Amino acid sequence: MRTMSGKSLFKSGSLEAALWAQIDPAAMPRHIAIIMDGNGRWARQRGQPRVAGHRAGVKAAREVVESCARICLPVLTLFAFSLDNWKRPPQEVDFLMKLLRQYVRRDLDYMRRNNVRLRVIGRWQELPAAVRADVARAVEETAANTGLQVVVALNYSARAELVDAVAALLREARHNGLSHVDEAELAAHLYAADLPDPDLLIRTSGEMRLSNFLLWQLAYSEIWVTETLWPDFSTAHLLQAILDFQQRERRYGGLSPAAERARRSPGVTATGGGRARSPRGALLPR
């Protein structure tokens, strides 16, 4: 296993080590976003209340954060609570708020020690005061950290984010004479405008939906869906998703490099994609 120090990142002989050995460190995603779905179904399968699924979901989130820090991923965004989640029974919402408070309190020490910066996107200022206070403390106390940025989407809705961006633009038009809007101007008014767009979106539990998550930022992201329910999601799934991501050819609406070469030299037949397809295969059932 390769690290700068030559030390192993994952236990020798483990599935994680085998997956990591196949990952190209020069083609790592800069930003991974995750829709953590399936906590309720995980609990139901075990005859447990939904909240048990959420508790197990926090453990899975913790493992993924730690693994992302270990592999030096720059940005991880987790969809923790959507504006639409208020439609759930009040007891479940209260429990989710309690779990979030516990997470930011208990894991603050880990974040400090591991140079992790916590950020929040969404209308989180509208959350109960105690939640706001705990979240704000963790955000402030990790603000100077320069390693992994963990962005928690809290009370988040992508449509609300776009509405908030347009409202901010209108204010600037009124007060500062802004008279022209282009993509860069709108993107500059999103909640975390300095971050790169996600390269990879992971969704668990097999659902094929974006669920009002980062609609602007996901325009060109690669999507990886697993049937695995969120509480069962592990480091091995994360590494498999990165490995599969590295097999994708991202064209951003243009041509593949092979097709582009063929266009420039019409006598040459286009074969294959831009990146050589290696025999690297899936090691995990998906």
Has 37 been annotated as catalytic?
yes
Contact 123, 155 (CB under 8 A): yes
Contact 59, 68 (CB under 8 A): no
- The reply to whether 231 sits near ligand FPP by the rule CB under 6 A is no
Taking the complex as a whole, the smallest distance from the CB of residue 144 to ligand FPP amounts, in Å, to 21
- The reply to whether 39 sits near ligand FPP by the rule CB under 6 A is yes
- The reply to whether 189 sits near ligand FPP by the rule CB under 6 A is no
Name the phi and psi angles at 156, rounded to 5: -105, 145
- The CA distance from 285 to 12, in Å, is 21
- The reply to whether 198 sits near ligand FPP by the rule CB under 6 A is no
Taking the complex as a whole, the smallest distance from the CB of residue 68 to ligand FPP amounts, in Å, to 12
Among 57, 121, 134, 156, binds ligand FPP (CB under 6 A): 57
- The CA distance from 154 to 158, in Å, is 11
- The reply to whether 40 sits near ligand FPP by the rule CB under 6 A is yes
125 residue type, one letter = Q
- The reply to whether 118 sits near ligand FPP by the rule CB under 6 A is no
- The reply to whether 122 sits near ligand FPP by the rule CB under 6 A is no
**Tokens found for residue 32:** 């991974």
- The reply to whether 119 sits near ligand FPP by the rule CB under 6 A is no
- The reply to whether 152 sits near ligand FPP by the rule CB under 6 A is yes
Name the phi and psi angles at 217, rounded to 5: -70, -20
- The reply to whether 224 sits near ligand FPP by the rule CB under 6 A is no
> Binders of ligand FPP among 67-106, rule CB under 6 A?
78, 80, 85, 96, 99-100, 103
Nearest CB to ligand FPP, comparing residues 22 and 211: 211
Nearest CB to ligand FPP, comparing residues 85 and 247: 85
Cα distances (Å, whole numbers) of residue 253 to 1, 256, 262: 36, 9, 17
Short-list 63, 84, 74, 95, CA closest to 29: 74
- The CA distance from 131 to 195, in Å, is 24
What interhelical angle do 90-106 and 50-70 show, nearest 10? 30
- The reply to whether 38 sits near ligand FPP by the rule CB under 6 A is yes
Catalytic residue among 24, 39, 84, 85: 85
Name the phi and psi angles at 41, rounded to 5: -65, -40
Has 84 been annotated as catalytic?
no
Q: What is the DSSP letter of 279?
A: S
Among 36, 64, 75, 236, binds ligand FPP (CB under 6 A): 36
Which residues does the annotation mark as catalytic?
37, 85
Residues in contact with ligand FPP by CB under 6 A are 36-41, 54, 57-58, 61, 78, 80, 85, 96, 99-100, 103, 152
